[in-house]
Chains A and B, each alone.
Chain A
Amino acid sequence: MAAKSQICSVWLGSETGILKGVSLTKKQAFNFCEMSCMSRDQEVCVMAWGDPHESEVLVGSVNGTVKTFSTDKGIFTATRECGDPSQGRFTGLAVTDSSMITCVESGLLKVWKEGSTETAEVNVGNGVCRMQQNQSQRHRVATGGKENPLKVWDLERPDKPIFTAKNVAHDWLDMRVPVWVRDIGFIPDSDKIVTCTGHHQVCVYDPSTPQRRPVLEAQFGEYPLTALSLPASQGTVVVGNSHGELAILDLRKGLVCGCLKGLAGAVRGLQCHPSLPLVASCGLDRFLRVHSLEDRSLQHKVYLKSRLNCVLLSSRELEVSSEVAFSLNGDVEEVKAEEEEDEVWDTMETVTEKSKKRAAQKDKATATGVDGEKKRKLIKKKVM
């Protein structure tokens, strides 16, 4: 079990309550679930890394429990009751230095301190769809939901939000544009926040400016955008909608750079790799897909038998693949690779020669054709 969990680089939570680990280099998927479990109320809603070293995964379920899974040991180490199902599902899970932050659909944001049962509570409004933590300033969280505009909270002063977004101006019919924040992302190295809405809009907010309305608003598709992720390279964002369309949007102009193809079902979880240009997507079609952001091609596709809710990418992937390359006799492999390449080039040359020969043959054929015609003309003349 421990060996299996140590090689996994992608972690997924499914609707059946099973935590799945996938190793892309070895092309294997493993199920990690507690023996007694397997019931629908164990359905995984949110997942987060338990610590910066990515050795623990926190899994939040529908029945209000948050389980800690250790990737080194390969077992669930702790379970914690963090609310009850009447409050709604978990919409966000985050970890600060010594405490855990959970948010549920009814708007109750709780900070659970380690060791003590005290919780600091904040009410962020009803109908919350997402709560996300700022990775650079860990005490700041943003929440948003259906008819619940984006609010950024500082947990050290939890009375009032630091920033509340204002709705966009009335549309061309002078009607109020409905608000439905589905997913939130903090842009690194700046104060800006990107959100994607259920009304197929992507909005960028800048709390450092006095403007509370979105700085940029872009539209994509006709279906609700369900997931969002920011890649390592700045200036772009990847969004997915309920029809299985994944798109890369440019945040400077608000235009679509390109679409990632392959998904057949709604995108439930999307995550970009912290350093590599890769994005992992999972959804209702029961597949995990990893696309490359540079050429928008599908790198990996794994069938995992249940509908998937969330995905977590570990930054170890690069290290693992490089380790695999160097652990074997690196030099010998490289030399062999070169030889193979030379062989490939040799074979390539012979192919081109043959094609030239074929072209030459064709020329000859046409020449004979011409001759044939000449022969016919000669025959004619003879008859004449």
Chain B
Amino acid sequence: VKLVKSDEAPVQEMEQAEGEETEKKSESGPCFPPTFSVSEIKNKQRRHSMFLKLKEEKRKQKLELKKKKKKERKALGDKAPPKEVPKTIENQRIYDETTVNPEDEEVAFDEGTDEFSAYFNRLTNPKVLITTSDRPRGRTVRFCEQLATVIPHAHVYYRRGLALKRVIPQCVSRGFTYLMVINEDRKVPNGLVLCHLPDGPTAHFKVSNVRLRKEMKRRGKDPTEHVPEVILNNFTTRLGHSIGRMFAALFPHDPQFVGRQVATFHNQRDFIFFRFHRYIFKNEKKVGIQELGPRFTLKLRSLQKGTFDSKFGEYEWVHKRHEMDSSRRKFHL
């Protein structure tokens, strides 16, 4: 017993001694020996408590610093230096050289004569065929139905194990302008192939975070048949332009503002967020919005020139993870 006591006592005294030492160090001034780090303490409980103390100290220091700065700012009044802007990944984004300049003639000509020119020159109206991979399960089926209500002139067809290369000529002959194939994996939609029909590009997206209408909180009533407005946010690069135009060409040209519905494709950090809202202007400055309709996130995997031909088609852009995702601040859309 004595031995035990003697072991514990010196340990406790050691702690006190350490505490005294640290206090002495802090009192004595700047030149104290390098302190041991918290991780060298072998006892987990004690290590944890030391770490918490350390964090507490740091937090106090941070608050003090903030208070000081605020005081200084107040004291200076008008002469205070401008507030520092915090760095975000969007702020620090590496400048992409393919960012489109709105006055660029060559790009304007390219876009004026590409595969979507027929739509943008008002020569064709969109007609979309929505289908899935073979034998879809409940969630995917409901997702397709809801998509068909969101996109005007959309028709859902059951994919009876048909090959897409054979479906495409039939669609073209029946006047469809888009083919949308929702791929399903383990009862959940996870991919989207969007093929512009006469001979247009095919985009393959990864779909995630699909929320059906039932799962939306505080949603409004079902969307009406009115043509919605389309908002395309933040598609700045050349590739982003192509994809943005692809989405724009899904919807008819003239939105019916009576319906007060809007579909948004918001691009942030290469993820495209789709939302469908109904808005109402309460007065000149205030708007109320209600989210209707499904919401999902897309990420572009590849853009292929020509209609769907994954084996022999030529790809305009392919996502190569190891080469393109090496920097956290580099985005391609």
User: What is A's interface to B at a CB cutoff of 8 Å?
Assistant: 15-16, 18, 31, 38-40, 198, 223-224, 226, 242-244, 261-262, 264-266, 268, 284-286, 303, 305-307, 365, 368-369, 372, 376, 379-380, 383-384
Separation of A31 and B109 alpha carbons in the complex (Å): 14
Tell me whether A383 and B323 are in contact in the complex, defined as CB-CB below 8 angstroms, given that A264-B317, A266-B315 are known contacts.
no
Quick check: B110 and A242 within 8 Å, CB to CB? Answer: no
Tell me whether A306 and B110 are in contact in the complex, defined as CB-CB below 8 angstroms, given that A265-B315, A284-B316 are known contacts.
yes
Separation of A198 and B13 alpha carbons in the complex (Å): 80
**A243, A306, A376: which contacts B14 (Cβ < 8 A)?**
A376
Determine whether B169 belongs to the interface, using a CB cutoff of 8 Å to chain A: no
Quick check: B6 and A264 within 8 Å, CB to CB? Answer: no
Separation of A243 and B305 alpha carbons in the complex (Å): 11
User: What is B's interface to A at a CB cutoff of 8 Å?
Assistant: 6, 9-10, 13-14, 17, 33-34, 36, 97-98, 104, 106-107, 109-110, 113, 238, 305, 311-318, 320, 323-324
Quick check: A242 and B323 within 8 Å, CB to CB? Answer: no
Q: Which of A18, A31, A264 has the most CB of B within 10 A?
A: A264
Quick check: A223 and B311 within 8 Å, CB to CB? Answer: yes
Quick check: A305 and B10 within 8 Å, CB to CB? Answer: no
> From residue B306, how far is it (CB to closest CB) to chain A in Å?
10
Quick check: A40 and B17 within 8 Å, CB to CB? Answer: no
Binding site secondary structure of chain B:
mixed
A226-B314, A284-B305 are known contacts; what are 16 more A-B pairs with Cβ within 8 Å?
A38-B109, A223-B311, A224-B311, A242-B312, A242-B313, A242-B315, A243-B318, A264-B324, A265-B314, A285-B316, A286-B238, A305-B106, A379-B13, A379-B17, A383-B6, A384-B10
Quick check: B6 and A384 within 8 Å, CB to CB? Answer: yes
Quick check: A31 and B323 within 8 Å, CB to CB? Answer: no
Tell me whether A16 and B315 are in contact in the complex, defined as CB-CB below 8 angstroms, given that A264-B324, A383-B13 are known contacts.
no
5 residue pairs, one from A and one from B, having the closest CB atoms: A266-B314, A284-B316, A383-B10, A242-B314, A303-B97
Quick check: A39 and B113 within 8 Å, CB to CB? Answer: yes
Tell me whether A368 and B34 are in contact in the complex, defined as CB-CB below 8 angstroms, given that A40-B113, A306-B106 are known contacts.
yes
Tell me which residues across on chain B come within 8 A of A16, comparing CB atoms. 106, 109-110, 113
Quick check: B305 and A266 within 8 Å, CB to CB? Answer: yes
Quick check: A305 and B314 within 8 Å, CB to CB? Answer: no
Separation of A15 and B115 alpha carbons in the complex (Å): 13
